[in-house]
Amino acid sequence: MSTDKQNDTMEKLVALCKRRGFIFQSSEIYGGINGFWDYAPYGVTLRRAVEGLWWKYMVEDREDVVGLDSTIICNPMVWKASGHLDQFSDKMTDCKKCKKRYRVDQLETPGVCPDCGAKDMTEPREFNLMMKTFVGPVFDDEHTAYLRAETCQPIFVDFEQVRITARQKLPFGIAQTGKAFRNEINPRFFTFRSREFVQMEMEFFCRDDEAMKWYEYWRERRWSFYRDLLGFREDVLRIQHHEKLAHYAKAALDIEFAFPFGWGEIEGVHHRGTWDMSRHAEYSKKDLRYFDQEKNERFFPTVIETSCGLDRICLALLANGYREDMAQTKKEGKEEDLRISLSLPPIVAPVQVAVLPLVKKLNEKAEPLYRDLKRRFRAEYDDGGTIGKRYRRQDEIGTPFCVTMDFDSLEDQAVTVRNRDTMTQERVGLDQVANYLEARIHPAG
């Protein structure tokens, strides 16, 4: 794809997200703030649905993973021990002419401004990505705290308490979803690189001699999550193994998605060794080793991590689902018109079924059906405007099924179910609609 076309697709996606209420720029009326995004009604529903799916798959459906919801601000020693305060930095450089700021590793031609072409860049400087704040009324070093840069550190810190209260033995995992903050030098590609974002992480604690087996296992499970649950085709996903590893790690890989702007990481699967647990033991001066009663030995568990960005998964779903095609229209003087649709998987679509009475006169019969469907699915009712316009709106927000009630419904006790992707229409008995949808929205039950 050419760069113009790539930019074009991203621009169209950003416009659709704004027009239909998925994602807005944060505090837009004041000119926005770079790297921060608000999720509008359909966006927040999509994001919650994906998070719920992840939580069910990673925690609720399993016996060996439990959950945690820790605070965003922790004792600053957490970030000293984790290495973030000393090492979590990127090199940045400024163009002396146009004043634009860049991450050095993102410059295609070092020393040259990609924006204005000037060969007058400042010496690279280290820039720590942790977001700072103050706790209490005094704004000095002693009261400085940090917003978490990853959700996993509190998992390591709370490991012993979680293990005891959840009555878990190795191997087992602790999962957490929530906000993370990074003072990214160059936020870009819509929500892809934001300064505030949601992570979904799971740390799996095991014996060191079993760690590579678990690493393979989790890589396979995570791949399956994207392919089998979210319906991504395998050619838009790929695995990139890290060539450079941290000294304590034995393996690490990224799962990437083919975004319109190129391949981008959506998840990392990491072998973290015993680094985090041993560092927190050292800095807290607490014995955080695990005692294996059967083998009568004490050791730091090895950690396998799965870490993904919820905003990136949502962006991948939106980009993957974006379609433009020509469809029949009843507009005057036209036979066909551009149709935009979002082919989102029914399981995460913000609206799973829309109930559309052909005319308002049919409300009396259509409303009870809507109320009934709303108990089982995310449903929306729309009785305004022409049916064509209502279909187009539902297509753009990614509604997989529209149920239309017409005058025949009063006779045959049936409705028309229209499929977003194929635009085929099927006549389904009123008493069968819920089961028909159930089989297509929750096929695995």
- Contact residues for ligand GAP, defined by CB under 6 A: 150, 152, 182, 184, 193-194, 197, 199, 201, 265-268, 305, 307-309, 311-312
Neighbours of 324 (CB within 10 A): 10
User: 197 or 232: whose CB is closer to ligand GAP?
Assistant: 197
Question: Distance (Å, rounded) from C-alpha 8 to C-alpha 373?
Answer: 38
The smaller minimum CB distance to ligand GAP, of residues 177 and 394, is found at 177
CB of 362 to ligand GAP, least distance (A): 45
Select 34 or 386, whichever has its Cβ closest to ligand GAP. 34
How far apart CA 52 and CA 314 sit, in angstroms, is 13
Residue nearest to ligand GAP (CB): 309
As measured in angstroms, the least distance from the Cβ of 182 to ligand GAP is 5
Q: Distance of CA 143 to CAs 81, 182, 359, Å?
A: 18, 20, 63
Beta strand 89-94 with 101-103 is: antiparallel
Task: Mention every residue, 6+ apart, whose C-beta is less than 8 A from residue 44.
Answer: none
Q: For strand 322-328 and strand 336-342, is the pairing parallel, antiparallel, or unpaired?
A: antiparallel
Q: How far is the CB of 185 from ligand GAP (least distance, A)?
A: 10
Q: Which is nearer to ligand GAP, 199 or 394 (CB)?
A: 199
- Cβ distance 55 to 175 under 8 Å? yes
Burial of 208 by CB count in 10 Å (0-12 exposed, 13-18 middle, 19+ buried)?
Answer: middle
Minimum separation from the CB atom of position 263 to ligand GAP (A): 12
Which among 395, 398, 284, 281 has a CA at the least distance from the CA of 345? 398
Contact 239, 256 (CB under 8 A): yes
Neighbours of 94 (CB within 10 A): 17
Judged by beta carbon, residue 244 or residue 295, the one nearer ligand GAP is 244
Q: How far is the CB of 355 from ligand GAP (least distance, A)?
A: 36
Minimal distance, residue 265 CB to ligand GAP, in Å: 5
Q: 202 or 356, CB closer to ligand GAP?
A: 202
Nearest to 122 by CA among 101, 98, 100, 93: 93
* Residue 243 CB coordination number (10 Å): 6
Strand partners, 240: 254
In 10 A of CB 107, how many CB atoms? 15
Closest separation in Å from C-beta 250 to ligand GAP: 16
Q: Smallest gap, in angstroms, from Cβ of residue 18 to ligand GAP?
A: 19
Return the number of the residue (148 or 418) whose C-beta is nearest ligand GAP: 148
Minimum distance from residue 33 beta carbon to ligand GAP (Å): 14
Gap between the Cα atoms of 176 and 183, Å rounded: 21
Of 173 and 357, CB closest to ligand GAP: 173
* Pick 20 or 193: Cβ nearer ligand GAP: 193
